[in-house]
Amino acid sequence: MRFNAKDLASLARRPSGCFDKEGKLKICRVVGDEKLIEPRERWCRLKGNLLFLMKNKSSEASEVVILERCWIVEFRSKTDVSIVLKFQSGEADLYLEAASKPDCESWAVALGEANSEGLQNKIQQLRRLIMEIKEERSSDEARQFLPSSQVDSLGEPQFTSIQRIANEPKLEFSLACKDLVAATRDRKLNTFIQVSVVHPAEHILTRYTSTEIVEGTRDPLFLTGVTFPPEYPIYEETKIKLTVYDVKDKPQDTVRTSVLPDHKEPRADVGRSFLGCTTFRVGDLIKSKEQQLTLTLRTSDGGKTVGTIEVNLVKMGELEDGETDHITTDAQDQKCALVRECTATEGVSGKDNLPSLNAVLKNPICKLYRFPTSDNKWMRIREQMAETTLSFHVPKELINLHIKEDMRRNQELKDLGELAPHWDNMRKSVIAHCDQMLSMYQDTLAELGKHTGSSFKSSCSKGEKTLEFIPINLHLQRMHVHSPRLKDALYDVITVGAPAAHFQGFKNGGLRKLLSKFEAERRNTGYQCIYYSPENTAKAKEVLSNINHLQPLISSHADLLLNSASQHSPDSLKNSLKMLSEKTELFVHAFKDQLVRSALLALYTARPGCVLKKPAVPRNSAEEGDDLQHQDHPSQIKRQDSIPHHSEYDEEEWDRVWANVGKSLNCVIAMVDRLLEKDNISNVKEGENDPSAADCKVLHTGGDWYEQLYPLVITLKDCMGEVVTRAKQSMAFVLLQELACGLPQCLMLTLRRDIVFSQALAGLVCGFIIKLHTGLHDQGFLQQLHTVGLLVQYEGLLSTYSEEAGMLEDMAVGISDLQKVMFKVIEAKSEDFLPVITGRREHYVIEVQLPAKMFELLPQEIKEGKLLRMYPVLFNVGINEQQTLAERFGDTTLQENINQENLELLKEYYKLFTEKMPPDCLPHFQEQNDLKGLLENLHQNIQAKKRKNVEIMWLAATICRKLNGVRFTCCKSAKDRTSMSVTLEQCSILRDEHQLHKDFFIRALDCMRRCQQVMKQGFSVKVLELRRIFFKRNEGISGAGSDLSSFPLLATQLLKL
């Protein structure tokens, strides 16, 4: 060949950035195994297929090697840093020695790709990439199905639909490869399969999903399968493309089988190389005799065979029989479960549950595993994660109630009537602040009404003001276990971020500290208002609520009584009188409280122009301070005794007004009894003399009944109206004091409490509905539900350091406030099964709607509308590095107090349970592990005050499951720590309750954990040490602490957060 020497010399002298690779190498020629001369150091520059050899970086090129018709021999010894270029022409080999092993490997790769054959490989790879660029959807949209217009076009008769069972996936198959060929002989493959779909109507390649990476074998058995849900437009004519990639070696500490996130490719810095691909028709797989295809994997040009791939059709409804050894391969680490993935909803408790469950659950994702038991049988595990529409529905319902309640309160303040200037100015200030807060609630509700995105709030949105009422990452995590010899079991955990006011921040702490500080300031600091205790203000709100509820009912029953009298219907008259008497008695009983009497007195003194026996002086004035110096008990004057006494005020007047209601009711009852008695006597006499005359008497006396009852009913209404007016004004005056004493802190604390409660309530409603559906056929649970109530156990993983301490304080108050929530189950009258919320801030009733068939399964007590109580408890153990700082340099008193307080609540529930329920209602009850012993063990662990005592969490969770409770697991965002806890809990349940083979515990953990890269982003290296502490309870699994990929199924969705 002829070369232009000047051009080559010019090319060799170009700047460093113009070359593919350059550096120092020791070079010599080799004939056979003998070096002709000792290797000499040369500066080498690679450009295309030309290798320039120079004495130094600035000298002229002394030799040019053309890298064609040659190949590279690379030595695999860890200490050998040399490669040899061998030429087909027979000329002497070129020996190249690098300074280090990495440098040697990089030169080997660069030289191997420099010739024309390497260029052809690059061209083929680019062609393949161009085809993938034409994909219709990105990987993040793979689960979103084709638009309806395309679905309609795919639904034409020429395409053969796949027969399937209702609500079951259309197609499922598992994958395995055999005899894969590596690029070099000693290369250990780390492979995964990318699955793409070619739609028959459009011939467009759509990337659908991918398997996990299986490392270190040429015969990988992939744990992750492929599932097409019922809505996906797939037909027998649809083609599936399977592409196998080899990923570069991972670090030494990476687990043997790591999992790629669904629809995600390896990171660019990891690198991958194309091995082979194949395509098959869906119809061929379905119609195959053994429902299995063995396909040949070929390179992109279709020439070279690089192995085979097995595609096995999977039917979810069939449980495989036989021993576990039949899946064993040469690679011991692959002896694990087959996994399938689906996005189809499945009702575990029966098909009838689907309509009502679909109303609250959304976008479910399922995984199926099979694990060996201790007797070498297979058990099947279905793991499901689902979002819930309640994440937005419950907060919107709650905010709407807050708006109505605040509007009523503002109107009641305005209806207080004329007040003295001091009190009137106070009222105006309070109303102005309340109107601002009301406007904020209305704006928030309007913004939530515009929301059309995801049905849950991601962790990155926790600081958004418009979403502050929405819980973070609220999901259902369900594990359904089907064992060959044990009864099927369901284990549900609701995962949610800790209920907290993230937008408002935690600079001054959380609700627990803020409420305590605010109440102390109200007691000890002078205000220009009257102090009422929190109990009294709560009582005032209750009285107002009873008035608003009972007054229209009494008025309605009074009208019904008059209507019955006008119709001269004795039976109807008796029933109307009974209802009127019951409601009026409740009405009168609501005012049997000293608070109403004292508030009326305080309101009287606040009227303009009244003369006080003891003049009321502003309590924070200098004059009051001088007077208090001469008092023996100044603190008493600051509190309820500061209510002045008026010399002209008649304290018995309220008693007379209040008693008039009862007297008026007694008059009505007496008149009805007299009318009925006369009617009976008259009917008997007239009937004896002339039967036809009795009929005439009915028409004659009908008007008399109405005329005689009408004045008494009007008097009753007037008396009741006077009581209502006075009581409303007095209770509104109490609320005025509460608001005026702490503006604007009082309203801001109310807002913060509403935000935290909204997040907590959304999770509670979701947990109750799921528990009710799964327990419909359990008569013991239903009896427990209406007799005792439902235990709701929260597992907190927050630290007591920095901002998380404030989150824990918010969370503790929010969960405690759930005690004021009651549930009521009603029969649905339409297809809308979403729950309805009624009530006020101090008392809420959640109406859960069930279809008629499901409603009939309930006990009579629940069907009649009995309110069902909730017993929420919270146990918290911080496990991250911040908790280490809190234990060494901070304070853990908050955590200790919360655990101790909630232990007492748990003991109270257990006491009620043992008093009202028979022992056979306990599921999986075992004598050696009874509840009493578990409670005692929990008590000892809480008293021990041991660092990171995760035994508290395990004991509390076990007690909750045995008491048919609802389980919650929470951390800051319901991601990292929550995932660790849920995963370990699931595998421990399989081991302790379902005889999971002890040698497969770690493998089960690996199968249930996802997304190693996401885990690394969320955790620092220091967390690895803490995980060792977190897992130490489980004997024989100390190796689990080194695995970073500790995500359960919910990590699949976390990539979107």
Question: Annotated catalytic sites, by residue?
Answer: 971
Candidates 316, 224, 309, 233; CA nearest to 263 is 224
Rounded to whole angstroms, the Cα distance separating 45 from 19 reads 7
Cα-to-chain-centroid distance, residue 205: 34
The helix or strand, by DSSP H or E, that contains position 749, with its residue range, turns out to be: helix 745-774
Cα angle 417, 419, 425 (rounded to 5 degrees) comes to: 115
Candidates 608, 612, 609, 595; CA nearest to 649 is 612
Rounded to whole angstroms, the Cα distance separating 322 from 338 reads 15
Quote the tokens at residue 79. 């200490």
Candidates 610, 627, 599, 592; CA nearest to 530 is 599
Beta-ladder partners of 23? 44
Work out the number of other CB atoms within 10 angstroms of the CB of residue 192.
25
Candidates 279, 251, 256; CA nearest to 267 is 251
Give the long-range contacts of residues 507-510, CB within 8 A, separation 24 or more.
Answer: 508/806, 509/805, 509/806, 509/809, 510/805, 510/806, 510/807, 510/808, 510/809, 510/810, 510/811, 510/812, 510/813
Rounded to whole angstroms, the Cα distance separating 893 from 256 reads 42
φ, ψ dihedrals at 41, nearest 5°: -75, 130
Burial class (CB in 10 A: 0-12, 13-18, 19+), 77: exposed
Instruction: Give helix 745-774 / helix 390-414 axis angle, nearest 10°.
Output: 140
φ, ψ dihedrals at 279, nearest 5°: -135, 145
Q: Does residue 986 contact residue 491 with C-beta atoms inside 8 Å?
A: yes
CA distances from 1056 to 170, 366, 721, 1017, 1053 (A): 25, 17, 58, 14, 6
CB within 8 A of 469, min separation 6: which ones? 395, 398, 399, 444, 448, 754, 755, 758, 759
The shares of helix, strand and coil residues in the chain, as percent rounded to the nearest 5, are 50, 20, 35
CB within 8 A of 1009, min separation 6: which ones? 259, 979, 983, 1043, 1045, 1046, 1047, 1048, 1051
Rounded to whole angstroms, the Cα distance separating 430 from 433 reads 5
b/e per residue 1009-1039 (b: at least 16 CB within 10 A): bbbbbbbeebbeeebeebbeebbeebeebee
Q: Helix (H) and strand (E) counts for the chain?
A: 30, 29
CB within 8 A of 780, min separation 6: which ones? 917, 920, 921, 964
φ, ψ dihedrals at 759, nearest 5°: -65, -40
DSSP code per residue over 34-89: EESS--EEEEEEEETTEEEEESSTTS-EEEEEE-SSEEEEE---SS--EEEEEETT
DSSP reduced 3-state for 560: helix
Q: Does residue 943 contact residue 822 with C-beta atoms inside 8 Å?
A: no
Work out the number of other CB atoms within 10 angstroms of the CB of residue 613.
11
257-259-265-267 Cα dihedral, nearest 10 degrees: -70
Alpha helices (H) in 346-420, listed in sequence order: 354-360, 390-414
Quote the tokens at residue 101. 């092993």
